[in-house]
Amino acid sequence: MTTINITQALCLTLVHSLWQGFLAAVAAGIVILCTRRSKAAVRYNLLTAVLVLFLLGAAFTFFHEAAGSNEPGGAVSAWVEGKVSGLEETVVLSGIQPQVHAGIERSTGIFGQVGDFLTLHASTVVLVWMLCLLGQVVQLMGGFYQLGRLRRRRVFDPGVLWQERLQLLAVRLGIRKPVELIQSAYVAVPVTFGFLKPSILVPLGMLTNLPADQVETILLHELAHIRRNDYLANLLLHIAEAVFFFNPGLRWVASLIREEREACCDDMVLNTADRNSYFDALVAFGENTFVRQRYALPLGKRKTDLLWRIRRMLNQENKKLHIMEKAILSLGLTAILAIGLISMRAAELQADKRQTAHQAAWQGTDTVPTSSNASGKRAKEQFPSISTRVEDNGSTKQYKIDATDAEGNTFQLTKVNGTVTELVINGKSIPESDFDQYLYIFDEIESRNHETAGEQGGEDRVTAAERELARVQERLDAANQEQTDAQQRLEEQQERQQELQEQEQEKQQEKLEQDQEKKQEKLEQDQEKRQEALEKQQEAAEQAAERKQEAAEQEAERKQEAAEQQAERQQEAVENQQEAVEKQQEAVEQQEGSRNAADRSINQLIGDMIDLGLAGSREDIHSFTLDSNGLTINGSRQSGDAYQSLKRKYIRNASEHYIYSHNGNGTTVDVRQ
């Protein structure tokens, strides 16, 4: 196998992968249509099987084309020599070989011309493909480099509590290998990557800003990817897309596989956690789902992906094909059928030309001894008269062919189940052991016998193909019309629903206005009644006031003395209250002084931490705790001389402690001295 043969085989494999990819897309569409109520794992396995079959078909095409291109160019000559090896005189092949090759190798029709073009320019096609493949590989390696940077830059320890909780969740899903949990300032949603040493990157602050039950559901989703080895499957999928980057069918199947992969992980989460908590977590991330990590396994790429997944889990219904996807698959399938029928017709025409070339090759130089040709040289046999009888009893099918050539020689040929059993020439039976010497006569008679039937059969096949194509087109038109009618019915139904909704809204509005009017009338009546009652009460009050005025004037003098005494007691109470206010003000001033002292102590302590090299700057310290038991900075426990130095300076007894926390919501300080 030469380099040229490999190049041509690779070129033809790439071209054939286009229609193979479309067939894979059709198969994937059938899977989507037939498994609307099936589990996501079943759909995922079926789509993966479709992808594997596509890759196996491409590999088979390559080896088939490579083996076909490796066959020697003189194969036709060897076949001819084998047929006439038993004749009395040797056929001179050098004179007929070019005619045979010309009849067989000449391509006809548009498909043949396309094949010849690809064969001649295979190196150019493969070179362009390899350049594009190189770009895909560079992009793939760049993606893995970016993942490596995410694992090393701006990462923070989540703490022992969450790391231990992650390992417990991993054991619940049956994961035995250790999984690392990392907080990153560069990711907006949780991301999983790694096969031998898997890691989960979560956004910085997610562990503290979300409720614990929601955080656990997110971690369960990422652990489900690790449990299913989705990272390795995703890598292989990207490699397949890089090799067949030009194939739209493959890329569509790959997108379906990715969607079903996320659905499988969602189902695993729902089987082990609370569904409401998981929905709340997905909605929380729905506002920030722009992800650039193509080669990792993020929680969601777009807001619509998360919404579709939530809708699928709520309705228990898998994804459907869109109208445009159905139309494209239908048109493509029709095109493939049409191309297949045209290719079959072209192949039949090519076979007829090969048969003609074969017969022409036998005309010139064959020499076979017969009773009517003593010199051993024969001319081309012509059979102007030929008839055929067929006897078929169900188990045995027998053909009897009677033929007469232009010279008056008679031939009787009998075939039983496709095998020649008897040959009679001019009334003389030819022994079966000599049949090899008359192979050309078999070919001549059968070719002449089938010539008319072949022409009629070819026309029938073309007519049948045209009828089949017309039926397919009619079915497609009917499907399109049905789809259009369904769309129109849907639009009409929506219009009717809209009208009903508008009518219902109008009725509700009228009822609301009537209720409002009734309420207004009742309110006015109540207001009038209250006004009348108020007037009556006012009159009674005036009369009572007059009576009270008289009594008041009588008691005024008595009350004056009592009022003076009461005023003196109130004055004393006011003075006592003033003293209490002054004491409270002094306490507030003392508390404010304590707070300022605490802030100064915290600032001084942060400055000492920076001087001791525990932090580069104040912005690097998000939280710390200093007490008699130890020093913790940003969730990491410190030890050594730095802690002892700070303890001697700030901790005088076991009850003293310094607590500091700074986040987006503000700063919290707690100092006890």
Residue 260 CB partners (closer than 8 Å, separation 6+): 40, 43, 44, 47
Read off the pLDDT band of 87 (50, 70, 90).
very low
Average pLDDT over residues 243-253: 92
Written as one letter, the residue type at 494 is: Q
**How many Cβ atoms from other residues are within 10 Å of residue 6's Cβ?**
17
Residue 123 CB partners (closer than 8 Å, separation 6+): 4, 7
Read off the pLDDT band of 75 (50, 70, 90).
very low
**How many Cβ atoms from other residues are within 10 Å of residue 330's Cβ?**
18
Read off the pLDDT band of 586 (50, 70, 90).
confident
- The pLDDT, as a whole number, for residue 497 is 76
Bridge partners (DSSP) listed for residue 9: none
Bridge partners (DSSP) listed for residue 386: 403
Read off the pLDDT band of 468 (50, 70, 90).
low
- The pLDDT, as a whole number, for residue 102 is 35
Average pLDDT over residues 490-504: 79
In order, the DSSP letters of 172-198 are HTT--S--EEEEESS-SS-EEE-SSS-
- The pLDDT, as a whole number, for residue 2 is 65
Highest mean pLDDT among 133-137, 184-188, 464-468, 524-528: 133-137
Read off the pLDDT band of 440 (50, 70, 90).
low
Average pLDDT over residues 105-124: 65
Pick the closest to residue 385 from 416, 359, 360, 409 (CA basis): 409
Distance CA 192, CA 219 (A): 10
Read off the pLDDT band of 508 (50, 70, 90).
confident
Read off the pLDDT band of 186 (50, 70, 90).
confident
Read off the pLDDT band of 250 (50, 70, 90).
very high
Read off the pLDDT band of 476 (50, 70, 90).
low
Read off the pLDDT band of 361 (50, 70, 90).
very low
Given a cut of 80, whether residue 304 has pLDDT beyond it is no
- Per cent of the chain over pLDDT 70 is 73
Distance CA 496, CA 483 (A): 20
Average pLDDT, the chain: 76
Structure tokens at 456: 């009629």
- The pLDDT, as a whole number, for residue 135 is 92
Read off the pLDDT band of 394 (50, 70, 90).
low
- The pLDDT, as a whole number, for residue 188 is 81
Average pLDDT over residues 175-195: 87
Average pLDDT over residues 293-322: 63
Better-scored residue on pLDDT, 497 or 250: 250
Given a cut of 50, whether residue 621 has pLDDT beyond it is yes
Distance CA 3, CA 450 (A): 43
Structure tokens at 145: 């480099």
Distance CA 88, CA 105 (A): 31
Average pLDDT over residues 2-20: 85
Given a cut of 70, whether residue 637 has pLDDT beyond it is yes
Read off the pLDDT band of 253 (50, 70, 90).
very high
For residues 91-103, one letter each, b for 16 or more C-beta atoms within 10 angstroms of the residue's C-beta and e for the rest, the string is: bebeebbeebbeb
Given a cut of 80, whether residue 200 has pLDDT beyond it is yes
Read off the pLDDT band of 456 (50, 70, 90).
very low
- The pLDDT, as a whole number, for residue 516 is 77
Distance CA 64, CA 13 (A): 9
Read off the pLDDT band of 369 (50, 70, 90).
very low
Distance CA 599, CA 597 (A): 5
Average pLDDT over residues 79-92: 35
- The pLDDT, as a whole number, for residue 343 is 65
- The pLDDT, as a whole number, for residue 349 is 64
Given a cut of 80, whether residue 57 has pLDDT beyond it is yes
Please state which of the ranges 117-126, 293-302, 406-415, 513-522 shows the lowest mean pLDDT.
Answer: 293-302
Identify the helix (H) or strand (E) that includes residue 481.
helix 439-611
- Spell out the alpha helix ranges (H) of 316-402: 323-363
Read off the pLDDT band of 58 (50, 70, 90).
very high
- The pLDDT, as a whole number, for residue 59 is 93
For residues 258-276, one letter each, b for 16 or more C-beta atoms within 10 angstroms of the residue's C-beta and e for the rest, the string is: bbbbbbbbbbbbeeebeee
Q: Are 626 and 658 in contact (CB under 8 A)?
A: yes
Read off the pLDDT band of 90 (50, 70, 90).
very low
Given a cut of 50, whether residue 73 has pLDDT beyond it is no
Average pLDDT over residues 281-293: 60
Please state which of the ranges 5-14, 244-253, 614-623 shows the lowest mean pLDDT.
Answer: 614-623
Please name the residue that has the structure tokens 């602050």: 205
Distance CA 33, CA 355 (A): 46
Read off the pLDDT band of 74 (50, 70, 90).
very low
Distance CA 468, CA 626 (A): 86
Given a cut of 50, whether residue 289 has pLDDT beyond it is no
In order, the DSSP letters of 46-60 are HHHHHHHHHHHHHHH
Read off the pLDDT band of 346 (50, 70, 90).
low
Written as one letter, the residue type at 293 is: Q
- The pLDDT, as a whole number, for residue 115 is 63
- The pLDDT, as a whole number, for residue 617 is 83
Average pLDDT over residues 265-273: 89
Average pLDDT over residues 86-109: 37
End-to-end CA distance of the chain: 87
Distance CA 45, CA 260 (A): 9
Distance (Å) of CA 658 to CA 167, 610, 646, 668: 32, 16, 11, 11
Bridge partners (DSSP) listed for residue 183: 156, 202
Please state which of the ranges 158-162, 266-270, 385-389 shows the lowest mean pLDDT.
Answer: 385-389
